[in-house]
Amino acid sequence: MPSDVLLEITKVGLLAFVVASMLSMGLKLTVASIVEPLKNARLVILLLLANFVVVPAIMVLVTSVLPMDDATATALILVSCCAGAPFLPTLAKLSKGDPAFAVGGMVLLMVVTVVYAPIVVPLVVKGATVSAWDIASSLIVLMLIPLAVGLFIRARYTGLAATWAKPVNQLSIMGLLIGLVAGILTNWSEIVASVGTWIFVGTLILVVVSYAAGYLAGFGMPSASRRITSFATAQRNISAALVIAVSLDGDVMVRTLVAALVVPVLLILVAAEMGKRGGKPEREQAAATA
């Protein structure tokens, strides 16, 4: 299959995943349930510190200590500076975490990334140009609008929301599978060419460091919420990082693409295993007990 066809399949699959997953979350949740976890000021502050101070600072240090080429180091720093990924609700579902907190945390981190990245990235990445609108526009159209539509339907037409929730969720899963497989096939040569670089080791370090920072940020929270702080920090906003990488050289773009494929695959495996061991989400358990 021609690479340009695979590229289009990748785009369509990932687009369907993002839009459908946001719509699905809106159909299942309410505005109040999303906002409620964010009323915990201590949790919000620690989550922001983990995502926008701890993780970028550690990755700047790691890339300066390890003998990485400039493109790999730049890609890892870019990814570490961008948070609020659309993949978070899917990880919450797999790990049996708190879905409302996942959506609320995702929106919070996305909004902060739009303000944070244009200011910080040019300071730590030489030659990077960042447009806040380029980042914000895609997040608004592909994520916030579908979420708002789902929340509106859930609030006004409860029966319709219940009917649509399952098929829309299935569409998001199908889009994710198609997008990941086509993305790997499309970039296979670039992935193989990157084997001799530090990008795989560096990405693994980024995931471990980010997950640990998120886990510590959720100290004292119920396990279902702590899973969300962990995954919210580990799953970086690759889409925003790619928008910035376009302004740099081709090698940075390739390394960022490799990280974009490696990070979700690693976290899917972790979340799935956690979900098998964790049983039902705590809110479901509490409701069942009541």
Residue 269 and residue 205 in contact, taking contact as beta carbons nearer than 8 Å: no
Residue 111 pLDDT grade (very low, low, confident, very high; cuts 50, 70, 90): confident
The pLDDT of residue 2: 63
Question: What's the Cα-to-Cα distance from 129 to each of 119, 125, 249, rounded to whole Å?
Answer: 10, 9, 12
| Residue 3: band (very low, low, confident or very high) from pLDDT cuts 50, 70, 90 | low
Q: What is the rounded average pLDDT of the residues 90-99?
A: 88
The answer to whether residue 290 scores a pLDDT higher than 50 is no
Vertex 106 angle, CA 270 and 92, to 5°: 30
Which residue reads 């080429």 in tokens? Answer: 69
Residues 163-198: tens digit of each pLDDT: 998 899 889 889 888 887 887 788 788 777 777 778
Distance CA 152, CA 21 (A): 15
Angstrom distance (rounded) from CA 25 to CA 93:
10
| Segments making up each domain of the chain, as ranges | 3-274
| Amino acid making up residue 240 | A
pTM of the model: 0.80
| CATH topology assigned to domain 3-274 | Na+/H+ antiporter like fold (1.20.1530)
Whether the predicted pLDDT of 284 surpasses 70: no
Residues 6+ apart with CB under 8 A from 41: none
Summary mean pLDDT of the chain: 85
Comparing 61-75, 181-195, 275-289, the range with the smallest average pLDDT is 275-289
Residue with tokens 């970039």: 187
Query: Looking at residue 160, what is its pLDDT?
Result: 92
20-58 residue pLDDT tens: 888 988 898 888 888 888 888 999 999 999 999 999 999
**Dihedral (CA of 125, 130, 136, 141) sign:** negative
pLDDT in tens, 123-176: 888 777 777 787 788 778 887 888 899 999 999 999 999 999 889 988 988 988
